[in-house]
Structure 1
Amino acid sequence: MTWRVGIDIGGTFTDVVAIDEETGRRVYEKVPSTPWDPSESFANGLGGLTEHGVSANDTAMVMHGTTVATNAILESKYSEAGLIVAHGHREVLECARQTVPGGFGNIAYWEKPPRVVPLELVREVKGRMAHTGNEMAPLDSDSVRAVAEEFKSMGIEAVAVSLLNSYRNPAHEEAVRAIFAEVYPDCYLTLSSELSREYREYERTLSTCLNTALMPALTRYVKQLSGAIEKSGGTSELFVMQSNGGLVPDADIATQPIKAVLSGPAAGVLAACAFGRVADEPDLITLDMGGTSTDICLIENGRPHMLAEGKIEHYNIKTPMVDITTLGAGGGSIASIVGDDSLRVGPQSAGASPGPAAYGKGGTEATVTDAHVVLGRIPEATLGDGSITVDRDAARQAIAQNIADKLGVSPEEAALGILRLASENMARGISLTSVARGRDPRRFTLFPFGGAGGLHACRCAEIMQTAKVLVPLAPGLACAEGLLMTDLRTDAVYTYVRREDAVELAELQQAYRSIAEEALTAARRDGVDQQRIGVETFLDFRYSSQAYEIRVQVDSHFDGDPHELTEQAWQKAIEQFHDAHERTYGYSYKGQDPVEIVALAAAGIGELRRPPINEVTPRNTTWGDANLGDTQVFFESKAGHQGGWVSTPVYPRDALPVGVSTSGPAIVVQEDSTFVLEPGWSMTVDKNGQILATRD
């Protein structure tokens, strides 16, 4: 047997999935995360597979999703870094952009993002490239050498280099690297021209600074992971998920960690695409709710929406990524009373240690999980890896002391308020992901996963008027499983700003072929069979009066060779842009405002063999046979259903009958998650073991 292993480290649990590449057999493992040293839970999860008969010697590939880069940015816990810029551009991070989030009405209250590199560590060097790529003034090598020696003497271990117009001609930045290699070879160095070949100096510089500041920690981290694999006796290759939904060798993430800021969440989205495909549900809205946060993504026609530029916390990052909205609301989110008796949920989290009060590990704060336990929505059983037993009395005490007593209500009413607020916050995130992008959420199916996604799915669907909910077979392990359902991917971008009427097709075709070949070259180096190497190409367009663009796909093929951009394909891409603008914003300027091309992009893809999603063995059982027994659950009142305590059947996930419908309320339990079927809903199990719930 040859195994492929996916390991996703979350804020509370580390999820491990191993798949036999030949048979599709899956083995699951779940261990507590170790936030103080994520590589420890990685090693624990890998070691736990041996109890299931998965040998390290039989493991060909280990795929990993990580939040190390994300958390470092969110918590501002990264290395001190220096920055080298062109003469006269020392305050590039202060200048930033003239836009103000929420409009200029907020200008009196808005604070610009905190500097990644303090002003006192920014150094200017003389030399200048024109926007055409021609050298206007030679690089002052002596000043670069002096800066390198200064940073070395100061003990600054990481340095970012972002020179003006280097996206067009990187010669000066490459000369800086050559000097550093001579003077300060141990320095972690990032060239903006290698990270992003796009214009917009502020975003390129900011991304380069963040990447540089993350390099020391991520380099050490991937070395620890490789060491854990070797210690287990394995020789498998380690690949890391990127924010764009593709894998790269671990060495690539060590040098460009900024590309992994949405590593874990992107894997879950890829799993949703695969599971939606076999369920004939190509249009999904994912709801990935873990212990610390909730990630939401829109999938249309089986593909997730992508961004050419993403945002993490306060920072705009110049790297392709899956379009994911992240909310500070998870199962461990802490509920508190603020101001004038106002209830707030999150963004603070109880995390893995001590965790919610219901975990019985010393937690005393009231959390979303505790609210579910108080209302009977999580039965008194074990959670996660089986080491956590639900303590209902501790959960009730935490809700009473922190919330109910202060508001003068019962613990049940307080718990219901916590869940109502958490669900409303998630519904707002769903709206930002769908309505704000010109999509009607009512025509999509909600896809909940993560340990807590199934607890809120029906309620969120009701708020957004979504008619269907699709729950995968192992929702708490979907991100780890998604790591095994994606391909190797390397992105390349080239700035090319022309108005439609000024484009010379021959010049555009040359640039198009060049960027496609660059992406293909990157894909070939990873040892994938030639017939499994492909390229996807894109063009970024905008109207000439606009500042930002929309990306449209031009081509996708797997014959290992870049195709030509024909006149017909060029005109079709322009029409696609008009349609995309109309679909997203409700209008287009077709025939009114000239179209402008801004950039060409390509993704080199090394297609990996997809492990099969097996059908479950049909069970000759009924819902009555599967019932573990009824339990009392507190539900909110709504049209047609009286609220309060309701006798509710509890079903084990592995005993559900296939193809037979049942009505809510009901609770489906499994080791990695719980699904609550609200009153007014029905559910059935499909051939792959997925639950399809529909509103009555």
Structure 2
Amino acid sequence: MSYALGIDVGGTFTDAVASDGAGRIVSAKTPTTPPHREVGVMRAIEEIAGELGIDIGELLSQTDYIAHGTTASINALVQGTVADVGLIATKGHRDSIYIMNAEGRTLGRSAHEIQDTLRQRKPAPLIPKHRALEVTERIDHAGKVLVPLDEDEVRDVARSLVDQGVEAIAVCLLWSFKNAAHEQRIRELIHEIAPDMYVTLSSEVSPRIREFARTSTTIMNAQIGPRLRMYLTPLQKQLEDHGLKGPLLVMQSEGGTITADRAPEHAITTVGSVLSGGVIGGMRMAEQLGHRNVITTDVGGTTFLAGLIVDGEPVMAPGSVVNQFPINAATIRVHTIGSGGGALASVDAGGNLRLGPQSAEAVPGPACYGNGGTRPTNTDANLVLGILSPHGLLGGRKPLRMDLAREAIREHVADPLGLTVEEAAIAIHEVQNAQAGDLLRRSVVQAGYDPRDFVAYAFGGAGPAHCAGYCQDLGVREVVVPLGPVASAFSAYGLAASDIVLSAELSDPSAFPVDHTVLESHYARLEADLQRALDRQKVKFQEVVMQREIDLRYSMQVNELATTIPETGFTERTGDEILERFEEQYERINGSGAGYREAGVQAITYRARAKASLDFPVVLPDIAPASSSDPAGALREERHVCLDSQTGYVPTPVYDYARLRAGHEIAGPAIVDVPTTVVVVPAGVTGRVDRLGNLVLSYQ
């Protein structure tokens, strides 16, 4: 028997999924164990082995690969627990990272925050100026060497940084994306002085025009690369010591994996790894269910995440922003807010109820966990409302304390607002739904799509408890709650079902359309680079598909749109076809008639992506059909539940998911208890169990 494993290390829980490739899938959920997250990973694998009736050594020895999504990279950047990094820049250009291209006050900010000019602030610099040094060299915009590299100066600069105790060095030279020779020589000179120094080059990590974004990406890669290596290397060894023969793969922001031994070199691509798993899982499930357009919603312990799948493929973005600094790394476009199950509820100075973005995280967790947390969370509110079973989570293995939940809500929300505990709890619940619904509307509509053309998928530990509420006003046709063997470990399922995905890009700003021979030359180079990178993965592929896109913009504009390139060969008509696609996309986002070809169009960056499928089918199995639609045989109990402030507490049937079958229908209000989550079916909503064991919610 062979297995594929997916491991999703979240802020609160570590989820694991194993598939045998023949339709059997089992999952496990254990608390995350910061700062030693590998402990939680091994515990999750042990639980998976137990579910399969074998020991961990036997499981790992039969595992083809493990796909791992980790919060290590993003948490390190957000919390500032990064390596001490030095920067080597072209003389006269060190300060680009501090000037921030005049956009440092607005990057990553909402429209409301941007308008509040008096409160705009630049973020703290990525590195102090005494660790940002310069060397003499100059390459021009065409890649021609104008001033040779001063190698003696490089040695002096490298020794200075080593003497300052840096753990990594970022090298970002002007126009290096056109000619990387000077950066590559600097790395050689650094390693003559410090052979084990972690060195990252902008020409390898971010070969794009725009000096500030390229420098910030390179520095952040150097900040997290050494720590990611410190996490992955011992984890891989521990797995191999327990019998793992296959590779450990790490999920990247763009929705595919890379081998663990290569991941630290490209650490910045793993920043969104745990955000991508759920979207990839949604894509795989959509393939089985025949859905082309899907809104994926993931409510974990810490965050609420929303992604889009259009025509069967995730919607991508060329980069992202962390702590007001840009990251040049292709990513699945995922919108997020700090509004998960562990989001802290509070009352601000103006007497307004706030939920998040701060989280109780895994330690101490919500007050009801009894681990020392004293502040109320969304989870505490759901317990008071009767949504969560008083018997606890994880099939009763995680007991919940009603008294601690009520006391936390009373002290921090109810008393300050003059409400009862129950009124405060439903207010927290409704704020959660409102925040999530607002994010969904913005993420779908602002991308130029109509929500009525989509189906929503809702997963994560808290997603099924809230999805009917936050999707109600969105206008989607139906909400699919993935249950069955993946339940709240849906992101881990997405990891196990993911492909190897690598990308390569180059910037060559010019007027567009360009001659088809230019396209042929650029993509031949990019695809050759990708093939060499695939050869280094040491993984068996079933199929490799190359995708091409180009970043275009109207002249005098500053933002580009990634535009796909026809899959057929390049002809004299290819440039015009690409231009038509760009204008169609531009008008979908900005409105009919917004395009203006007379302004001229510019090509900025060319990109190729290799998607290599692993020779392992990870599919969800069909479940047994019911003899009738009546779910009475699955009724477990009736308890008083409050699902909205107008109705209050009402006797509500609670169904045992383990006894539901395909074709069963549940009329709201109702609760469906699953060992790792709970599904809320409000009044006016019908839940139907589909052939994969999902609960499909439809509004009447």
Category of TM-score, reference length = shorter chain: over 0.9
Is residue 14–residue 32 contact of structure 2 (8 Å, CA) maintained in 1?
Answer: yes
Structure 1 residue identity aligned to 2:607 = A
Deviation at 1:590, TM superposition (A): 4.5
**Residues 657-672 of structure 1 mapped to structure 2, 5 A cutoff:** 657-672=661-676
Is residue 2:677 matched to residue 1:673?
Answer: yes
1:519 aligns with 2:546: no
1:505 and 2:516 equivalent?
yes
Distance (Å, rounded) in 1 between the aligned partners of 2:692 and 2:339: 30
Equivalent residue for 1:535?
546
Query: What is the deviation of 1:528?
Result: 5.0
Residue 197 of structure 1: which of 207, 217, 222 is its match? 207
| 1:162-241 equivalence runs, <5 A | 162-241=172-251
Q: Contact 2:138/2:149 (CA < 8 Å) preserved in 1?
A: yes
Misfit runs of 4+, over 6 Å: none
Q: Deviations over 1:132-172 (max 9, x none)?
A: 10011001101100011112222112110000000110011
> Is 1:67 aligned to 2:77, yes or no?
no
Report the equivalent of 2:338: 328
Question: Deviation of residue 212 (structure 1)?
Answer: 0.3
- Structure 1 CA distance for aligned equivalents of residues 591 and 31 of structure 2: 46
Residue 495 of structure 1 aligns to a residue whose secondary structure is strand
Contact 1:512 1:564 (8 Å CA) reproduced: no
Residues 382 and 105 of structure 1: CA distance in aligned 2, closer, same or farther (over 3 Å): closer
Q: Aligned partners of 1:391, 1:531: CA distance in 2, in Å?
A: 50
**Which of the numbers 621, 633, 656 marks the counterpart of 1:625?**
633
Measured in 2, the distance between the counterparts of 1:394 and 1:106 equals 39
Superposed displacement of residue 272, structure 1: 0.7
Q: How does 1:37-52 map to 2 (within 5 A)?
A: 37-51=36-50, 52=52
1:476-527 CA distance string (max 9 Å, x none): 10111001111101100011222125x2332232112221222233223334
**8 Å contact from structure 1 (residues 65, 240) kept in 2:** yes
Please tell me whether residue 138 in structure 1 is matched to residue 148 in structure 2.
yes
Given the alignment of the two structures, is residue 412 of structure 1 paired with residue 422 of structure 2, yes or no?
yes
1:469 corresponding residue in structure 2:
479
Query: Cα distance, 1:123 vs. partner?
Result: 0.3
Task: State which of 445, 456, 459 in structure 2 corresponds to 1:449.
Answer: 459
- State the Cα distance separating 1:442 from its structure 2 match: 3.1
Give the TM-score normalised by the residue count of structure 2: 0.95
Deviations along 1:450-473, whole A, 9 cap, x unmatched? 100111101101232334111112
Identify which of 350, 362, 368 aligns with 1:352. 362
Separation in structure 2 between the aligned mates of residue 130 and residue 521 of structure 1, nearest angstrom = 28
Measured in 1, the distance between the counterparts of 2:541 and 2:34 equals 40
**Separation of aligned partners in 2, 1:429 and 1:231:** 44
- Tell me whether 76-85 or 463-472 shows the greater mean CA deviation: 463-472
Task: State the alpha-carbon separation in 2 of the partners of residues 84 and 347 from structure 1.
Answer: 36
Question: Matched residue of 2:102: which SS?
Answer: coil
Matches within 5 A, 1:14-163: 14-21=14-21, 23-51=22-50, 52-54=52-54, 55-99=59-103, 100-101=105-106, 102=111, 105-163=115-173
Q: Which amino acid aligns with 1:25?
A: R
Superposition pairs of residues 508-657 of structure 1, within 5 angstroms: 508-527=519-538, 532-555=543-566, 564-587=569-592, 588-608=594-614, 609-620=616-627, 622-637=630-645, 643-657=647-661
Displacement of 1:555: 4.4
Q: Is the 8 A contact 2:221 2:266 kept in 1?
A: yes
Distance 1:552 1:606 in 2: 21
Give a deviation string over 1:306-346, Cα, whole Å, max 9, x none. 01111223221000000011111111111111203221111
Aligned 8 A contact 1:519 1:535 in 2: no
With normalisation by structure 1, the TM-score equals 0.95
| Number of aligned residue pairs | 684
Structure 1 residue identity aligned to 2:47 = G
C-alpha distance in 1 between matches for 2:144 and 2:24:
57
Cα deviation, 1:363-405, whole Å, max 9, x if unaligned, reads 2211100001111111223313753112222212221122112
- Secondary structure at the aligned position of 1:108 is classed as helix
SS of match in other structure, 2:81: coil
Distance 1:228 1:426 in 2: 39
Query: Quick check: 1:382–1:671 contact (8 Å CA) kept in 2?
Result: no
Gaps of 5+ in 1: 557-562
Percent identity between matched residues is 33
8 Å Cα contact 1:539/1:600 also seen in 2: yes
Taking structure 1 as reference, are residues 405 and 163 closer, same or farther at Cα in structure 2, changes over 3 Å only?
A: same
C-alpha distance in structure 1 between counterparts of 2:448 and 2:16, whole Å: 36
Residue type matched to 1:492 in 2?
A
The whole-number CA distance in structure 2 between the counterparts of 1:90 and 1:675 is 54
Q: Work out the CA distance in 2 between the residues paired with 1:244 and 1:161.
A: 24
Cα gap change, 1:531/1:685 in structure 2, threshold over 3 Å: closer, same or farther?
A: closer
Which amino acid is 1:2 matched to?
S
Residue 655 of structure 1 and its aligned partner are, at CA, apart by 1.6
Instruction: For residue 280 of structure 1, report the CA deviation from its aligned partner.
Output: 2.5
Within the alignment, does 1:483 sit opposite 2:505 as a pair? no
Q: Deviations over 1:625-662 (max 9, x none)?
A: 1110111101215xxxx511111111122222322433
